[in-house]
Amino acid sequence: MENDDTKKGEPETPSDLLPRAPKTTATKKQGKAATAAKKSDKQKKWPLKEHWKRASRTKQIKWIAEGILVATAVLIPGIYIWDHLQTKRHFEVEGQQFSMEHRPRVIFSRPPQLFSQFTCEITDTKLTLRIGRMLVWLKNTKAGDAVGVYPSVMDFRAVPEKKTGFAIFDDIPPITEQTCNLRPPPKSEVFALNAGQELAVDSAQTVRDGSIIGANGKAVIPKDATLQLYFPICAYYFDEEGKRHGTCTTFRFNQNGRTPFTCSESPMTGTFEQTFSGYCEN
């Protein structure tokens, strides 16, 4: 017998074959949003502070231990290198101090002693200076012995008190660090000077002829000019390790307590006094 609720002539349709409503757009969007949120949460970069807060106690202790190991690995080589550099510097300083304390140091212990006379002559074109025989006093004031010692008279000059306007005539003979590095050939036998030893070296007469013609083509120093004589002298030597050294000092001629003179007073006798300019040592 047919069911009364079933329409006559229409068979009953199974429920699984009934048409279903399609998924709405809103449902699809909600699904995508949830997926994106999960991905975003996984990919989000937390700051270190946040990572530390979220980490377990065990992981925090592990991170601390790893940090200590990394710091130790960096510090140990650094400490070793620093200690090596400090030790090297210490020995270098000690070596320099030892070298300075045990090296020779030759100085002019007294002004040169003039045994003969000093003369000068001015002509229309040149100025001639003649310094007679003298003694040069040298002393080694340090603990090391000096070898190959010899004195060398440099460019001595009579400087006019009234300036000419030309530096070559008006300036005191220059002594610089480079002067101590010069190596002029010795004009006498070289000798040794032991630690603490002082020695007087005989120096023969020295002569210097110099033109007095300036850049203007005229004589710039008159025959009655008042002059002062500056006398630079150097001593060159070696230390026991073969290193070269030099000492240079400038002296000035003094005639009976006064330094100015004229060539008309020739021949003259006097002494030398050390000046406060024109000095080098290495």
64-119 residue pLDDT tens: 888 888 888 887 877 778 776 776 675 555 455 545 577 999 999 999 999 999 99
Please name every residue paired with 201 in a beta bridge, in sequence order, or none if there are none. 136
Two tokens at 151? Answer: 């004195």
Residue 51: the pLDDT is 67
C-alpha to C-alpha distance for 182 and 178, rounded to whole angstroms: 6
Q: Are 220 and 214 in contact (CB under 8 A)?
A: yes
Rg (CA), the chain: 49
Residue 3: the pLDDT is 47
Answer yes or no: pTM beyond 0.85.
no
C-alpha to C-alpha distance for 259 and 59, rounded to whole angstroms: 91
Q: Render pLDDT for 220-243 as a digit per residue (tens, 0 to 9).
A: 999 999 999 999 999 999 999 999
Distances in whole angstroms, Cα of residue 144 to Cα of each of 93, 200, 217, 237 = 18, 19, 53, 12
The closest of 51, 249, 250 to 159, measured between CA atoms, is 250
Say how many Å lie between the first and final Cα of the chain, rounded. Answer: 138
Strands 157-160 vs 227-238: parallel, antiparallel or unpaired: antiparallel
Q: Which parts of the chain have pLDDT scores under 70?
A: 1-46, 48, 51, 84, 87-88, 90-100
Looking at residue 58, its amino acid is T
Q: What is the DSSP string of 90-117?
A: HHHHHHHHHHHHHS--EEEEEEEEE-S-
* Residue 24: burial class (beta carbons within 10 Å; 0-12, 13-18, 19+): exposed
